[in-house]
Amino acid sequence: MPKDNSIKSVLIIGSGPIVIGQACEFDYAGSQSARSIREEGIEVILINSNPATIMTDPSMADHVYLLPLTTKSIIQILKEHPQIDSVLPTMGGQTALNLCLEADEKGIWKDFNVKMIGVDVNAINITENRDQFKDLLKKIGVPSAPAEICTSMLRGKEIAQEFGFPLVIRPSFTLGGTGAAIVYKKEDFAEKLSYGLEMSPIHEVLIDKALMGWKEYELELLRDKNDNVVIICSIENMDPMGIHTGDSITVAPAMTLSDVTFQRMRDYAILMMRSIGNFAGGCNVQFAVSPDEKEDIVAIEINPRVSRSSALASKATGYPIAKIASKLALGYNLDELPNQITKSTSALFEPTLDYVIVKIPRWNFDKFEGADRTLGLQMKSVGEVMGIGRSFQEALHKATQSLEIKRNGLGADGKGYKNYELIIEKLTFASWDRVFVIYDAIAMGIPLSRIHEITKIDMWFLKQYEELYTLEKEISKFKIDTLPKDLLLEAKQKGFADRQIAHMMSCLESQVYKLRGEMNINRVYKLVDTCAAEFKALTPYYYSTFEAEIESKEGKKYVHNESIVTNKKKVVVLGSGPNRIGQGIEFDYSCVHGVLAAKECGYETIMINCNPETVSTDFDTADKLYFEPVFWEHIYDIIRHEKPEGVIVQLGGQTALKLAEKLSKYGIKILGTSFDALDLAEDRGRFSELLTELKIPFPQFGIAENADQASALADVLDFPLLVRPSYVLGGQGMKIVINKQELEEHVIDLLKNIPGNKLLLDHYLDGAIEAEADAICDGENVYIIGIMEHIEPCGIHSGDSNATLPPFNLGEFVMQQIKDHTKKIALALRTVGLINIQFAIKDDIVYIIEANPRASRTVPFIAKAYGEPYVNYATKVMLGHNKVTDFTFNPQLKGYAIKQPVFSFSKFQNVNKALGPEMKSTGESILFIDDLKDDQFYELYSRRKMYLSK
């Protein structure tokens, strides 16, 4: 059936600010969806309150509404746009589905004659209402775990008596496993049940018999109106049941499933998808499989929307699920649509993988003091990375190298655990670093059977680990000048980094790199092509691997490289890696705009990133995408292969910035601000000398390397003191201390976690107002794109502060100082591109807290508030294509825009929720007000000092 021609104007509902359980995968889905629908000549109106995303960029839709996700906002939009005839709720996660249901219950869609496309209310209700879902499974003959619905404490106790422990409690209509728990013993039941009932918006939970230790699988499917169904990807959780899939290490395609069971699982998934009513689009189905020979299958849940896993499946296969799901919602059938990567095969053609992908979540427990760090049914990770390799081992290593947690991969870096009791404990109570601990356990000699007994991780995965450790032991017997070529090639094919191999042989990373060159063991690049090379792919989306040399008939030795280098002028944009607190989706926004601006300047654009959730790793954002770790060895090899004009580092947050020194050392051109200027801003000593020369005030400070030096400095600087390590992002390790005992404790703690780091001690300006400015500079001219005043006092991290654009109570004299200081510092640092400067204002004197010559967290916010493409302009300045004076700036903002941080404390009971200099928010929303009399502003202002923790 072709497109439904009655659809002329679609409202897409976004997912709001980023919280744990709902991250930038929905920005990716929403962006793809808007593009897909507009391609059909249909008007797109978008509502989302998140200013940091690509999805809310003015170019994405015909009308973008940065409004709170409420039915009040929906009514406002429908009144302003009576032409809206359809609403698509499947692209904005649980938030969008819940809002769509609420609007339906209130009769809003009916009142405005708007139809729901892509899914219907019955499909949402059947899949979300645990009782209806259980009845459906029984009716269609799909097995499910013994489970009962519960809406009261009394009924809960009856069910527990009937089933026995362990039990699983799952609240209805929640996201990311909020409120879910495994109850092992009777004493914990009442507390966990009442929390689950409280977390469910309809005060309903499902209590089911825990399938602990069963294997967990997910299938990503698409269905059209004609009931055609394709299975895009099978995903296996390396972690067994009992750990939320968002916190599990997952592998695609499924590795340990027999073909017979896989076919049965496919049949069940298709049956489930076809039985949930009028539904056309993407769907995620989860199953548990018994770990014995019987391989019994039990259905866990089905989500009738795109999900976190669909972003992963899209990147894993190159099949753009959200894009195709949007076309299906418009009435197309799968056989009418082309595969987006081959352009010659149909979208009904199921992807085939000739490689392996491994996803590892990224946690931020250090930000949640007192948090329970073990993993369970409630999701706790804030981001994720994906590695692509020719084998599970290579993909696993690449994923661990992408995490940016100061590990070089599995083992062979001197950072493994050596304490038997600790290793057993971390395996027993699934820890966030269990992926590394398994390797440490094998290195200690703990038998695989024991590791399997504790973790219930399939023996196949454990044997893969064991092979890696065996190889490490073998290589350790050699020295750099005696290492055989076949062993070095095997280590590289299994994903070991040069620096790990160097660690095994006690030599330098550069020596291993040199040896690789001499032995002709070089990375080759392969296409992610959706069809295992059966058809020609037209989309340049690559991963790296190592291959043994092939000899031609003429005796010429070669390896097959699928990445063809053009002779166009090229630019590399370094991405920001996994999402984390302090470095979120706003840097992905900057990277995407940087790529688009470089294209406009005539460059071939090359993106390097490893985050599967984002728009920057979409196969058609850059001219060429390398889905690789943002890790020195990988980047250097790509640069040597592509030979770009230069590399842009200032758009990818601290991840890209940290590589600037290496790039500079290896003679690779950094486009925009030079490494020396970046370092000058980071090096507190050099920076303060510069400020002194410029006659710009800054809080008195000193640098200490141990507790004694810190104590001596305290006598000079006076308490309160702000203590922080240098070269970190998101205020990591920052604390305000008010006496010598607190100072000593914090310094010792910091140096234990970040050995060898210099600590900065600033006199903290108690009661000061904080403000920040973002600007674009071309080395000669400076244009300030925005000045924001924080509602909370100085001392709360800027990422956790409510901030207003423009400032609401800074006088002319103070504003002039901010402007003068910004211009002087931008020019003195020889900034070319973006710069963010933070200020403390006390007694009408403006002090400098810090300057960051890079894209900041606030740039997307300011761009959205003023309706100006600032990253586009800044990139053109970095490339030397334009001067600041070439642009006509015309910011449009009526009243004020307020940046409001959003926290995910609900995931961590018993956590200290007080705010301070270390950032804790996971996302942000934007609020527009006409004037300062607005009630919401008044409420924020009256609460401003409540959270300050010293």
Per-residue pLDDT for 210 more than 90?
no
Q: Are 715 and 791 in contact (CB under 8 A)?
A: no
pTM: 0.92
Question: Mean pLDDT across the stretch 231-238?
Answer: 95
Q: Which two tokens stand for residue 154?
A: 């009394």
pLDDT score at 948: 47
pLDDT score at 950: 39
Average pLDDT of the residues of the chain: 90
Q: Which two tokens stand for residue 126?
A: 């059947």
Q: Which two tokens stand for residue 875?
A: 């990139």
pLDDT tens profile 315-325: 999 888 999 99
The larger pLDDT score, comparing residue 781 to residue 746, is at: 781
pLDDT band at residue 722 using 50, 70 and 90 as cut-offs: confident
Per-residue pLDDT for 380 more than 80?
yes
pLDDT band at residue 945 using 50, 70 and 90 as cut-offs: low
Opening angle at CA 805, ends 801 and 808, nearest 5: 85
pLDDT tens profile 582-616: 888 999 999 999 999 999 999 999 999 999 999 99
Instruction: Pick from 753-762, 880-889, 905-914 the range whose average pLDDT is largest.
Output: 880-889
Question: Mean pLDDT across the stretch 57-83?
Answer: 96
Distance CA 590, CA 575 (A): 9
Q: Are 632 and 649 in contact (CB under 8 A)?
A: no
pLDDT score at 745: 83
Per-residue pLDDT for 758 more than 80?
no
Question: Mean pLDDT across the stretch 707-711?
Answer: 82
Give the list of residues 6+ apart from residue 66 with CB closer than 8 angstroms, or none.
48, 49, 51, 56, 864, 926, 928
What percent of the chain is predicted at pLDDT more than 90? 62
Per-residue pLDDT for 194 more than 50?
yes
Q: What size, in residues, is the chain?
A: 950
Distance CA 8, CA 43 (A): 6
To the nearest 10°, the Cα dihedral for 488, 493, 498, 502?
-40
pLDDT band at residue 727 using 50, 70 and 90 as cut-offs: low
Q: Which two tokens stand for residue 122?
A: 């019955």
pLDDT score at 910: 74
Distance CA 114, CA 87 (A): 7
| Least confident among 126-140, 638-652, 785-799 | 126-140
pLDDT score at 827: 97
Put the strands of the sheet holding 604-609 in their side by side order. Answer: 524-527, 541-545, 624-627, 604-609, 570-574, 646-648
Per-residue pLDDT for 751 more than 90?
no
**Beta bridge mates, 223:** 229, 281
Q: Are 800 and 915 in contact (CB under 8 A)?
A: yes
pLDDT tens profile 30-62: 999 999 999 999 999 999 999 999 999 999 999
Opening angle at CA 82, ends 76 and 87, nearest 5: 80
pLDDT score at 947: 47
Concatenating the DSSP letter of every residue in 677-721 gives HHHHHH-HHHHHHHHHHTT-----EEEESSHHHHHHHHHHH-SSE
Q: Output phi, psi for 201, to 5 deg.
A: -65, -20
Tell me if residue 148 falls in helix, strand or coil. strand
**Count of CB atoms situated within 10 Å of the CB of 557:** 10
